[in-house]
Structure 1
Amino acid sequence: MVLNRRCVGKSFQTPPARKKRYTGFRIVNARITPASRLMPKSEQLPVDAATLEEWDRAPYPLRVRGRVQHYSWGSTDAIPELIGQANPKHEPFAELWLGAHPDLPAHVTIGSGEIALNRLTEAAGPVLLGERAFEQFDGVFPFLMKILSAAKPLSIQAHPNTEQAESGFARENHAGLDLDDPQRNYKDDKHKPELISAIEDFYALRGFRPLDELGRTVHNMPELSDLVPDGTLTHDRMVELYVELMQLPQLEVNRRLIPLMQRLRTANENREFGKADPEYWAIRADDEFSRDDDKDRGLFSVFFLNLVHLRPGQAIYLPAGEPHSYLEGTGVEIMANSNNVLRGGLTPKRVDVEELLSVLTFEFGKPTVLELERDRRSGTRARYVTPALEFELSRVQLNSGERDVAGGTRGVELGIVLDGKLKIDSRDGSNLDLERGQSFLIPYGIPYVMSARETATVFVGSVPS
């Protein structure tokens, strides 16, 4: 193939304050990634054109350096301990991004230099992804993988489907909003189905509770019982009720939530709530997000959504329009390559209740908890089965001395070592020595062998084959 030279050499240095950016081959005006979130110029070692052309002709596995998002809800220890980075200021490390989203792309090492994964995809996408995936996903790396570690509840949120994302992104572009404008809802034109796999006890809200359960809950809450006088709810009435509560004027939100939270706090003094109780999370969220006697309307959702406790190895899948919030814990997350989040409360970030309500699917029932299923192609791999076209998440577990042999039929793979030490050998004789917290990228169609030097656990994101 002909290498895209605009992505190599000097052009890979920190760009000017504004440029044209390609998004799915459509050009939009966009502000570049803030310089504070890029490597300092003195540390950047660009991949020269000759080295990249050589890799393009004969691709091999690459070492990956993830990038950290320091959102306020992040824990201060899990990710630093994983990647071996000191955190003397106890800064929140919320997410370790392993992907090519332009908001914070990972860097990959080729030769003695580094290149951002989105730039590598632009320069050598058919080789990296394979021709079929390159065409299917419009030349964009199809998934984003993360380590997520929450010490505090995340926002009540949902993600749009493709049609909604394309429409919202175009609308905000037409309005002249920069990509980093705080009034923006849509960072790109992609949908964002996602999956999170717990690597420790993980708590989340996911989807609306069953109608009969919701009816009883609301009827038994003195502050809300007038809304469901007979304790029963139809689907349509439940939708109307949730929309009504989320759109209440702030004075009415306070009128209902102030006495509710006072009652819960009194009850908590007599019988302390635990993490299996919605009341526990409501009190924690109230402490974190309510301000100046104004209650956060996101508290209503704590009682309307299913509370899920994931044990290590369990996962939940979130399609478009599914309301959710991650409450506490650390997990491996994988999603379509998007950063579109519509929020309805419990956050200092932008809240747009109307836009959130417009994308919700309003399905009611118990959530499905996913378990790993053995991959028939490998005796050492297990995977989560979802309907997502962009991604699949697998876990590889190897005892010391054990090997995982991957044939050349797999799509592009992005992995992270959670425990242990291992070596990756590919057909051309290249190899990577990896240990806990380190990541790697396997281009499309490259056979390789993963050998454990000590008992190892690896999570691998890939395009479903």
Structure 2
Amino acid sequence: MDLLLNTVQPYDWGSRTLLPELMGVPPTGTPQAELWMGAHPAAPSRVSRGGALVPLDRVVAGDPEGELGAGTVRRFGPRLPFLLKLLAADAPLSVQVHPDLAQAQSGFARENALGIPLDAPHRNYRDDQHKPEMIVALTPFRGLCGFRSPADAADLLDSLRVPGLRPYIETLRVLPERQALAEVFRAFLRPPAGLLGAVVQGLAAGTGQASTIAYDRIARAHPGDPGLLSALMLRYVELSPGEALFLGAGVPHAYLSGLGVEIMASSDNVLRCGLTSKHIDVEELTRVVRFDAPPARVLTPREEGDEETYPAPVDDFRLSRYLLRAGEPRRRVALDAPQILLCTNGTTTVFSAGERLGMGPGQAVYVPAGAEAGMEGASTVFRATTGTAERLG
């Protein structure tokens, strides 16, 4: 096992205080948006090997079956299939959507055939993988997730008292769900002149609703960005600590504020809808987006033995939580798949093969497949592994 040295991503929407407060370190004065834990080639964690720090992706590439287990390699290839993060948002992220596996594979092949460089700003597909994800709140957490029902979206737009919104309100009230959502969403991606400014004024006037206040904050954080209009089509969600959201393919979403543990399939495939200066491909975006409005499903963990699991309908990752108490027997966490253990509260000692590593909040340990491992100490520990992992012994 290895204590991970992880990279902090300083995206401009990041909080300056949430991660330092969790980790008990002084703020740097700059945004600290995401702490990455895993083997993603863009910012792999590093481990100590032979007196040197080695990127985890290189360690995995050197012995895929030894690090990941034969089952993981058969299912996902010689790569760690998940990426774990601490995410700390102080301003709204871009509204975005991720493709399903078939869309990612065909889109990646198509752009390769066109000769579009992998790092081109206008490239949509940077790999051939899907990117389902889950966020678990550590603090009160706010976000946008999936479409509002047409009736709910119409009511919100109507409350702004903007005459230019009347045609869209009527469309939402009259047409069937999918057709209504698709027509208005597409129109909002390319809005007529003057509509955005009128909506911003309507939001500033306020209705007193939590969602309207959130959209006004978005407008102030992204002045002049037409993505505000598509954001109005999305459901506003508030999570309490311990609650979670799963975001599957085709579901438009944006995180607004708060600190959480995020896990996702290890992919870079993101199509953006707005609140960004990055490339927006309207045609590809509307092919990927799912135009439906199922009820919001806020997840709570379910007990499975001595851990609490957050259910997800994918096998790229599995996320669970241990609430450890002082004086309890050591918890055994050996699996036939790779795992990352992340401490978010208290202190934990991880034991494996005669070694012991201490973890405090914000620290993580990588345990290769098949390693005997256990942990103890009053703490909260999240465990990330693959969805197909099984306990050993």
Q: What's the TM-score, normalizing by structure 1?
A: 0.78
The one-letter code of the counterpart of 2:364 is: S
Partner residue in 2 for 1:352? 281
Among 75, 84, 98, which residue is 1:136 paired with? 75
Does residue 1:64 correspond to 2:4, yes or no? yes
Distance in 2 of aligned mates of 1:82 and 1:107? 21
Structure 1 residues 176, 264: CA separation in 2 closer, same or farther (over 3 Å shift)?
A: same
Partner residue in 2 for 1:197? 136
Among 302, 308, 316, which residue is 1:390 paired with? 316
Mapping of residues 154-233 of structure 1, within 5 Å:
154-219=93-158, 221=161, 222-229=163-170, 231-233=173-175
When structure 1 is superposed on structure 2, of 175-184 and 298-307 the one drifting more is 175-184
The one-letter code of the counterpart of 2:79 is: V
Distance in 1 of aligned mates of 2:22 and 2:156? 40
- The Cα of 1:412 is off from its aligned counterpart by 1.3
- The Cα of 1:361 is off from its aligned counterpart by 1.3
Among 447, 453, 458, which residue is 2:381 paired with? 458
Q: How many residues align?
A: 385
Secondary structure at the counterpart of residue 316 of structure 1: strand
Deviations 1:364-391 (A, max 9, x none): 1321000011122x2xx11101111110
Distance in 2 of aligned mates of 1:447 and 1:439? 17
Identity of aligned residues (%): 37
Among 359, 364, 384, which residue is 2:293 paired with? 364
Distance in 2 of aligned mates of 1:402 and 1:111? 35
The one-letter code of the counterpart of 1:321 is: G
Partners of 2:344 and 2:382 within 8 A in 1: yes
- The Cα of 1:198 is off from its aligned counterpart by 0.3
Partner residue in 2 for 1:33? none
- The Cα of 1:442 is off from its aligned counterpart by 1.1
Distance in 1 of aligned mates of 2:304 and 2:111? 42
Structure 1 residues 365, 425: CA separation in 2 closer, same or farther (over 3 Å shift)?
A: same
Does residue 1:446 correspond to 2:385, yes or no? no
Deviations 1:193-251 (A, max 9, x none): 000000000001000112332343345553312234383341243134234323425xx
Give the aligned CA root-mean-square deviation in angstroms: 2.0
Partner residue in 2 for 1:82? 22
Partners of 2:69 and 2:336 within 8 A in 1: no
Mapping of residues 43-442 of structure 1, within 5 Å:
61-88=1-28, 90-219=29-158, 221=161, 222-229=163-170, 231-248=173-190, 252=192, 254-265=193-204, 267-268=205-206, 273=208, 276-277=210-211, 279-290=212-223, 295-376=224-305, 378=306, 381-406=307-332, 408-426=334-352, 428-442=353-367
Partners of 1:74 and 1:95 within 8 A in 2: yes
Which structure: larger Rg? 1
Distance in 1 of aligned mates of 2:65 and 2:336? 14
Partner residue in 2 for 1:28? none
- The Cα of 1:410 is off from its aligned counterpart by 4.3
Distance in 2 of aligned mates of 1:408 and 1:289? 46
Distance in 2 of aligned mates of 1:456 and 1:328? 25
The one-letter code of the counterpart of 1:62 is: D
Distance in 2 of aligned mates of 1:424 and 1:403? 13
Partners of 2:136 and 2:243 within 8 A in 1: yes
Q: What's the TM-score, normalizing by structure 2?
A: 0.92
- The Cα of 1:144 is off from its aligned counterpart by 0.4
Secondary structure at the counterpart of residue 217 of structure 1: helix
The one-letter code of the counterpart of 1:462 is: T
- The Cα of 1:262 is off from its aligned counterpart by 1.4
Partner residue in 2 for 1:25? none
Partners of 2:181 and 2:292 within 8 A in 1: no
Secondary structure at the counterpart of residue 347 of structure 2: strand
